[in-house]
Amino acid sequence: MKYKYYFRKPSSEIVKDIVVWLAAAGIVAVAGGSPYLFINLQGHSHRWRKYKKRNVADTFSRLKKQGHIEIQKRNRQVYIHLTPKGKALAGWLQIDALEITRPKRWDGDYHIIMFDIEQLRKPHREAFRGKLKELGFYPLQKSVWLCPFPCRDEVELLKEFFGLTDKEVRYITTPDIGDDQEVRRFFDL
């Protein structure tokens, strides 16, 4: 007798898939009425096939109840989109998944991030610094961090997410930082 084991992703994975999908799509229109909405949705995209229909339906309902998505019915169409609260969640998910890609060969340049964020915005400053640390940046000073790998897009995304300006965060690329033996050891270069 063979047993079938189903790998059930946690509902947080379903939430992530739904929110990221809606963030990319903006608004989704699905044909059909309420009883068939999630069946139609599963035919709409391959991403839902890995989940049980009931789990997808429950997650959509929970996201609606929590105020992350809005579902509207108009003329035999169902429109689904993120609310401002849902867009904030999508931003957090995007920041949470952020990574710096290490190229196969280092080009010899250092990418320095300098920031000066006023005391009134201390939570933003601490969160920005914490994310740089989490991404593996090296702290040269309290507000000067570096990475030997290109990371401009990632830093721009962080700036945008935390609402920081070009005056508050500077991105500099340089081949020379002086004695870099400790930095080279840190990044195994």
Q: pLDDT tier at 151 (50, 70, 90 boundaries)?
A: very high
Dump pLDDT digits (tens) for 76-109.
777 888 888 888 887 777 777 788 989 999 999 9
Span 2-30, mean pLDDT? 62
Q: What is the tens place of the pLDDT at every residue in 27-56?
A: 666 655 544 455 455 555 556 667 777 777
More confident residue, 74 or 36: 74
**Whether the predicted pLDDT of 179 surpasses 60:** yes
Q: What pLDDT was estimated at residue 32?
A: 55
Q: 148: Cβ–Cβ under 8 A, 6 or more apart, which residues? A: 106, 109, 110, 111, 183, 187, 189
Does residue 10 surpass a pLDDT of 70?
A: no
Give ∠ CA 50-90-27 in degrees, rounded to 5.
Answer: 75
| pLDDT tens, residue by residue, 107-145 | 999 999 999 988 888 888 888 899 999 999 999 998 999
CATH code for the domain defined by 11-95: 1.10.10.10
Instruction: Band the pLDDT of 5: cuts 50, 70, 90.
Output: very low
Q: Which pLDDT score, from 0 to 100, does residue 185 have?
A: 94
pLDDT at residue 93, as a whole number = 78
Give the whole-angstrom CA distance, residue 20 versus residue 5.
28
Q: How far is CA 91 from CA 16, 23, 35, 94, 98, in A?
A: 11, 9, 31, 5, 11
SS3 at position 36: helix
| CATH 3.30.70.240 segments of the chain | 99-187
The CATH label, of 2.60.40.10, 3.30.70.240, 3.90.1150.10, 3.50.50.60, for the domain at 99-187 is 3.30.70.240
What value does the mean pLDDT take over residues 156-183? 91
What per-residue confidence (pLDDT) applies to 123?
Answer: 86
Residue 4 has pLDDT above 50, yes or no: no
- What is the arithmetic mean of pLDDT over 159-169? 89
In the chain, list all ranges with CATH 1.10.10.10.
Answer: 11-95
Averaged pLDDT for residues 17-24: 74
According to the model, what pLDDT value does residue 49 have?
65
